[in-house]
Each structure stands twice: as structure tokens, then as C-alpha cells.
Amino acid sequence: MIKIYIVDKSNLKPCNNDLVYCVVGENSSLKMREKALKIYNQILSSDLSKEVNIYNQIKKSNLYTIFVESILLLNYKFEKYKSKKSSILKITYQNPELINKSMIEGVFIARDLVNEPLSFLTADQLAKEIKKYSKKSFFKLETLSEKKIKDLEMGGVLSVNKGSVNPSNFNILTYKHPNSKSSKPIILVGKGVMYDTGGLSLKPTANSMDMMKCDMAGAAAVVGAIYAIAKMKINVSLIGLIPAVENRPGGNAYVPGDVVKMMNGSTVEVLNTDAEGRMILADALHYAKRFNPKLVIDLATLTGSAARAVGKYGIAAMGNASNETIKILEDAGLNINERIALQPFWEEYSLELESDIADLKNIGSAEAGHITAGKFLEHFTKEKEKSAYPWIHLDIAGVAYLKKPYFLSQKGGTGAGVRLLCEFIKNYK
């Protein structure tokens, strides 16, 4: 058994036993997370016991919380398909009331969903998984079938899924705290492209298509966050909207040059079938209007451009929500170390989406592709040229999936967005 004591500097006693780590309470949350990472890796790579006990002897309990949560976040492996399981740590800790277990569970749910390959996690299976999680928490799920999606004339969702033999669906998650009767809901929209081959604008395999099971990471973040927030019983009204499709180059796949009529009546000239996320999100953002939301946040692995702009160090953010709302989100990101990087959102970018034959086209120029993608989405948040609700778009393409471990995430799905949303909603409501 390894004992980790979180102590204040003044209380630091020498550690003369190999199996005891003393951690000085660092006066910064980032330093505390770094310390957790260092200790976690030390223990895992040593031949010491894999049973760890963490003790709280620090005055500032928030630093204790950060340390334990960081260790718990690190202690994750996706091994469902491994015949031989490798070891992770067995962790127990003092003061469980200081640790947000629901949030960690939410992150792990999102990671599991991202790590699942398409061979298991189709749109149908996603709906089943969400249903399973809804029963373990306090939210409800309604899944619209492809037939219903046709009735609703969600042209964006339908056209992306045309090349797939598996049906699309549209998931509506609802959580309402009993005391939040009159309040307008916050809506979370998640990109659920179960797999993105690029469609007929096919992606190359290496470093591109090979990781595209992660293209539903926005959806995964929404599921994980709503699971956690419902389990924490936060006083809020929340709705999750998840359009789920596969982007495939099948016999009936939509082709570059097609014109698609979207749910809101706009026509889109599709010039690249790989810009599919915005097609399905457009219908979801239009659908959101019927709930008269207080705020809409969408999360999507939308563009390689966002990943190139900020890398794995942050989330590219844009939209039309008030400065106050953005500030709360920025602060939440700094607190839990999922930072957002606000991008310019000038009108000029939307001019790039003018089409010769339709209302707009689905790609802009080679520059600032994440912002023109955002501008495409913005079009569908409007009603009669005016924004229908305050809205923030989070492009998580850079942070959702890792090729090698980075900071508090192992390889694969990171669960990015879950903690950001939990922290934000706690403070915003």
C-alpha cells in the first residue's frame, strides 16, 4: 500500500518510508495537477504496490480536491477489447465528500464512447448507450428514428447519412431539476458523426481517417456532462441534442455539387462531403429554437483548422453570446484546465460561404476554416436574419483525441468538454 499525504509545507515531515509520498500543498491548481501527474507516473512505472491511499492534511481543501481528481482522471484505460488487461491503480481517499465522483464518471463515459470503434458504436448503439446512462442518472432520453427525421425534413442529417447502410437518429436528452420550473433551458448540441470517412471527398488513412471514430466526441461530451450534472442534481434545466450519422461513400452517398434543403428551408451547395459536421449541426441548431433556450452551446470535432490553430492545448470558441457568458466559460476553463481560445468572428468570414446556385455553400476558402465553419453554423441559429438565442460554438477537434498521453489524459478519447460544461453550468445556471 502506498500512502500519499497532502500536507502544507509547514507540516512537512521527512518521508523516510519508501511507500509514503508527501505532497506539499502547492499554492496553484496547475502545480497541484502537475504534481499529481508526476506521482501517478512514478507509481505506475515502479514495481511498488498498486494500491494507493490518499490522506488530506491540508488547510486549503480545494487543492486536495484537485490532487485527488487529477489522480482519478489519470487512472483510466480502455481495455474492453484486450484479452490481457494491464493494471491501473486501486485508489482510496479521505474526505470523499470533497471529490466530485459524478464528474469523473461523466468524463469516463465520454472517453469510453469516443474509444469505442464503429464496429460497436453505430448511431443505434449510441442511443442504447445513452438510454443505459439515463437510467443510472436522472435524465430522460427520446430518440427520433430516421423516419421521424424525414418527417421533420432534416435535410442536413439525412444527406450526410445517405452513403451509410445504418440509419441515422436524433437524440434528445432532458434533465430538469424540480425547482427550475420556469427557467428556460440551456441546450447542449453534440456532433455525433459515428465515423467520418470524409464520404466521397474521402480522407486519406494515415493520421486522418484512422482516428475518425472520434468524430462523435462532441456527442460524447454532451452525454457525459448531462449524466454528471443530473447526478449532481444541479438546479438547472438542460437539453441535449445529438444528431447521429455515419459519413460514408456508399452507393447513394451525397456528392460534391449536390444541393441540400435543410430543415430551416435554406439550401446548401455541398462542395465537400467531408464538411459534414456542420450539415448535421445546422439542423440541430435550427431544431433548438423550439425550446426557446436561454443559451445554446454546441461541441464538435468540426475542423482540422481548429486543431491547427490551437493544438491540443485548448478549445477554439466563437459565437454571439454576451461577454459575461463568455467570461464565465473562460473562467470555468481556466479553473478546471480545459481552456477556451476565443476566435475572431467577423462578418467577412461569412461572405466566403456565398454560393452561385444555393443560399450558401458548405465550405469557405483555405484560410480560417474553423471560423467559416462557425459562420455556417451561425446561419442556422438565426430566425429572420436575427439570432434566435445566445450561442457558443466549441470546436474540440484539437483536444478530443490524443495519439499519445498528454497531461491528465491517456491516449485516445480525452472526455474534453465534460468538466468544462459541469464547471460552467454550476457557475452560470
69 touches Zn ion by CB under 5 A: no
* Catalytically annotated residue among 203, 213, 231, 419: 203
Give the residue with the Cβ less far from ligand BES, 149 or 216. 216
Look up cell 426557446; give the residue.
292
DSSP string of 289-327? GGG--SEEEEEE---HHHHHHHGGG-EEEEES--HHHHH
Instruction: Tell me how far, at minimum, the Cβ of 395 lies from ligand BES, in Å.
Output: 9
SS3 content of the chain, % helix, strand, coil (to 5): 40, 20, 40
116 touches Zn ion by CB under 5 A: no
Instruction: Tell me how far, at minimum, the Cβ of 306 lies from Zn ion, in Å.
Output: 12
Give the residue with the Cβ less far from ligand BES, 232 or 420. 420
Instruction: Report CA torsion sign: 190, 193, 198, 204.
Output: positive
Instruction: Tell me how far, at minimum, the Cβ of 127 lies from ligand BES, in Å.
Output: 21
Question: Who contacts 421 (Cβ-Cβ below 8 Å, separation ≥6)?
Answer: 188, 221, 222, 225, 229, 297, 299
Q: Site residues (CB under 6 A) for ligand BES?
A: 196, 215, 272, 274-277, 301-305, 307, 363, 369, 397
Interaction partner, residue 304 (ligand BES, Zn ion, none; CB < 5-8 Å by kind)? ligand BES
Of the candidates 26, 105, 274, 352, which one interacts with Zn ion according to CB under 5 A?
274
Interaction partner, residue 116 (Zn ion, ligand BES, none; CB < 5-8 Å by kind)? none
Give the residue with the Cβ less far from ligand BES, 396 or 425. 396
Instruction: Tell me how far, at minimum, the Cβ of 193 lies from Zn ion, in Å.
Output: 5
Instruction: Tell me how far, at minimum, the Cβ of 368 lies from ligand BES, in Å.
Output: 11
Q: What distance lies between CA 335 and its chain's CA centroid?
A: 17
**Per rule CB under 5 A, count of chain residues that contact Zn ion:** 6
Interaction partner, residue 340 (Zn ion, ligand BES, none; CB < 5-8 Å by kind)? none
Give the residue with the Cβ less far from ligand BES, 105 or 196. 196
- Backbone region of residue 153 per phi and psi (left: phi > 0; alpha: psi in -120 to 50; beta: other values): left
CA dist 107 and 58 (Å) reads 26
Instruction: Tell me how far, at minimum, the Cβ of 215 lies from Zn ion, in Å.
Output: 4
Is 111 annotated in the active site? no
Angle of helix 61-74 versus helix 101-115 axis, rounded to 10: 20
Task: List alpha helices for 145-259, DSSP H.
Answer: 146-151, 155-161, 217-232
298 touches Zn ion by CB under 5 A: no
Instruction: State the Cα angle at 323 between 319 and 327, rounded to 5°.
Output: 100
* Catalytically annotated residue among 213, 278, 361, 419: 278
Helix (H) or strand (E) holding 188: strand 186-190
User: Is residue 114 a contact partner of residue 106, using CB atoms and an 8 Å limit?
Assistant: no
Instruction: Tell me how far, at minimum, the Cβ of 274 lies from ligand BES, in Å.
Output: 4
Of the candidates 23, 91, 103, 193, which one interacts with Zn ion according to CB under 5 A?
193
User: Is residue 158 a contact partner of residue 168, using CB atoms and an 8 Å limit?
Assistant: yes
Instruction: State the Cα angle at 203 between 201 and 206, rounded to 5°.
Output: 165
277 touches Zn ion by CB under 5 A: yes
Give the residue with the Cβ less far from Zn ion, 52 or 241. 241
Is 339 annotated in the active site? no
Interaction partner, residue 70 (Zn ion, ligand BES, none; CB < 5-8 Å by kind)? none
SS3 247: strand
Give the residue with the Cβ less far from ligand BES, 276 or 298. 276
Residues in a beta bridge with 295: 186
Give the residue with the Cβ less far from ligand BES, 63 or 315. 315
196 touches Zn ion by CB under 5 A: yes
Taking CB under 5 A as the criterion, which residues in 240-269 touch Zn ion? none
In degrees and rounded to multiples of 5, residue 111 shows phi and psi of -60, -45
395 touches Zn ion by CB under 5 A: no
Active site (catalytic) residues: 203, 278
